[in-house]
Amino acid sequence: MRNVIMICCFLAGVFILNSCNDFLKEESQSEVIPKTASDFSELLMGTGYPSVGYEGGPSFSIVALLDDDCELWLTYEGSKPYAKVGTTSAVTSFPIYTWQPYLADYDGYNEAINESPSSTTYASFYKKIMGCNAVLDYIDEAHGDQADKDRVKAEALAIRSLLYFQLVNLYGEPYNYNKEALGVPAKLNADLTEEPIKRATVAYVYEEIVLKGLQEAARLMDPLEIVRKNYRVNQPAIHILLSRVYLYMERYEECIAEVNKAIEQGAVLLDMVNSLDVIPLSGKRYKLITYDNPEVEWLFGGNVGGVTDAYTSGTAPHFRALWDEENDRRWLAFNFQYQGNAVYVMKPSGQGEYGQSVRTAEAYLNRMEAYALSGQEETALKELNDFRKLRIIDYIAENYNGEDLLEQIRLERRKELCFEGHRWFDLRRYGMPEIKHVYMYEPGGPTYEFVLEKEDPMYTLPFPNSLLLKNSAFVQNESREMPERQGNMVNE
């Protein structure tokens, strides 16, 4: 218990523990000890669960600027104020948007960022992992009913698994491309140590941490009462996360089985065509990433949609062209807005609101893709058409097969889950296709095109160099050693 005192003091120093006096009994002026299952539950909420706001985290919203759905710069139309060409946000984001090897070390003004390891995205993940580990190390010793302890343990395992899943998809190569590549360090206890920790392989992180953690979370949680809308991970959310992991690992039958379990546990799909009004309007927009949406099983963490000046970065023209603006109810629900010749989307929440979710729509998309990839095309086609009938007014069923069917399913996934943190990770498992971004340095200036090549090393992000200075066992990714990426002028 002396160790848990040290851990709690450490966590209290690193994170701001919400309402700590409500759940931590004071033993002295400097020591607090969680003793009951309820204590550990609140400790987990404060130090393990992804949180919101600028001081929350972890945030990996940079992925919204890396994929093929966004467009960072916007052209001026007369004196209208909503162009971002040459603004601080556009210049600062330039290295990310153009996939520069120094994106983790310098911004577009060539000013150093992430000079302290503790300020990095990488570190923010491990702070939350530390919180989960502290709970997992000591929850079995807590006072309380076994069911209460099992729920806390299941939550901690599920959260840690999700954090590692996101980490390894940022800094490790895709599992289905090179699972023996280096992933991220595996830290599975809360012991405080200065010893250098090596990077585990992508396979180890997926198989031993993410998958086994979610499987054990499901085993512990499934016999318990299903609780919804309390900002804690529940049984259907765990099974949906399992279906995501199995899909990434190309274990399709297991993916399908996990979706079936989530649906059996009451996960529902919203009929946007006929019942979108079950979600209250906020101003002129529906807020789908909230518990007002019956699809949402777990709401957590900050926005990953790349919010800039209260809007996401503009959507790319080729992405906008995919939409039936008149009949697709998501065009309204996601609040796509024309401003001049640019389109913004207010689908994610703002910085001070929960911005991530695990929701039923993803489960259905996971399952239909798994059906298609496992040769069950007739079932996949039926699910695709049924899904679209709930999204598109007067939709008439189409007939697809083979690669066309898979392409249509992935198109539906791209639209449905846009700006929710999925697209960059999906592109990685799709084979890392070529992407092009256009950028304008100043209003009225020439436009430059930057290219991310197929299977480009930058599909695996570089670590900030400050991490390597701190940890002598750390190995940098190849992407950091690439030459600076130059744009080609496409007009003058």
Do 481 and 468 contact (CB within 8 A), yes or no? Answer: no
In contact, 273 and 328? CB cutoff 8 Å: no
Q: Which residues make Cβ contacts (< 8 Å) with residue 82, sequence separation at least 6?
A: 74, 339, 340, 342
Give the residue from 479, 400, 481 showing the smallest Cα distance to 171.
479
Across the range 416-440, mean pLDDT stands at: 95
pLDDT value of residue 343: 64
Question: What per-residue confidence (pLDDT) applies to 306?
Answer: 59
**Local confidence band at 103 (pLDDT 50, 70, 90 cut-offs):** very high
What pLDDT does residue 320 have? 85
pLDDT of residue 39: 97
Residue 22 has pLDDT above 60, yes or no: no
Per DSSP bridges, beta strands 70-71 and 314-315 are antiparallel
Mean pLDDT of 254-258: 99
pLDDT digits (tens, 9 = 90+) for 184-217: 999 999 987 767 889 999 999 999 999 999 999 9
pTM of the model: 0.92
Q: What is the pLDDT of residue 391?
A: 98
> What does the DSSP assignment read for 341-397?
TEEEE--S--TTS--EEEEHHHHHHHHHHHHHHTT-HHHHHHHHHHHHHTTBTT---
Looking at residue 50, what is its pLDDT?
96
- Contact at 8 Å (CB) between 17 and 46? yes
CB of 387 closer than 8 Å to CB of 412 = yes
Q: Are 392 and 411 in contact (CB under 8 A)?
A: no
pLDDT greater than 60 at residue 456 = yes
pLDDT (0 to 100) of residue 314: 62
3-state secondary structure of 296: strand
Among 100-109, 123-132, 275-284, name the one with the lowest average pLDDT.
275-284
pLDDT more than 90, % of the chain: 70
What pLDDT is recorded for position 275? 94
pLDDT at 10: 45
| Residue 488 per-residue DSSP state | E
> What was the pLDDT predicted at 365?
99
Measured distance CA(39)–CA(74) in Å, rounded: 49
Q: For 265-285, how does the pLDDT look when each residue is reduced to its tens digit (9 = 90+)?
A: 999 999 999 999 999 887 777
The answer to whether 79 touches 190, Cβ cutoff 8 Å, is no
Mean per-residue pLDDT of the chain: 88
Average pLDDT over residues 244-257: 98
The per-residue pLDDT for range 339-395, each reduced to its tens digit, is 665 666 767 666 678 889 999 999 999 999 999 999 999 999 999 999 999 999 999
DSSP track, 232-264: S--HHHHHHHHHHHHHHTT-HHHHHHHHHHHHH
How far from the centroid of its chain's Cα atoms is residue 68's Cα?
16
Cα distance between residue 343 and residue 312, in whole Å? 10
* Of 185 and 9, more confident: 185
Question: Burial, 481: exposed, middle or buried (Cβ in 10 Å; 0-12, 13-18, 19+)?
Answer: exposed
pLDDT value at residue 24:
30
Are 86 and 92 in contact by the 8 Å Cβ rule? The answer is: no
Q: Considering the chain, what percentage of its residues have pLDDT values greater than 70?
A: 85
d(CA 366, CA 290): 21
The tens digit of pLDDT for each residue in 461-481 reads 999 999 999 888 999 999 999
63 phi and psi angles, rounded to 5 deg: -65, -25
* Contact call for residues 171 and 463 (beta carbons, < 8 A): yes
Mean of pLDDT values over 447-452: 95
Looking at residue 4, its pLDDT comes to 52
Q: How confident is the model at residue 26 (pLDDT cuts 50, 70, 90)?
A: very low
The per-residue pLDDT for 429 is: 98
The CA-based dihedral angle spanning residues 107, 108, 111, 112, taken in that order and rounded to the nearest 10 degrees: 20
Q: Are 262 and 364 in contact (CB under 8 A)?
A: no
Q: Which residues contact residue 78 at a Cβ distance below 8 angstroms, ignoring those fewer than 6 apart?
A: none
Please state whether beta strands 488-491 and 281-282 pair in parallel, antiparallel, or not at all (unpaired): unpaired
State pLDDT tens for residues 37-89. Answer: 999 999 999 999 999 866 678 989 899 899 999 887 655 454 444 457 888 88
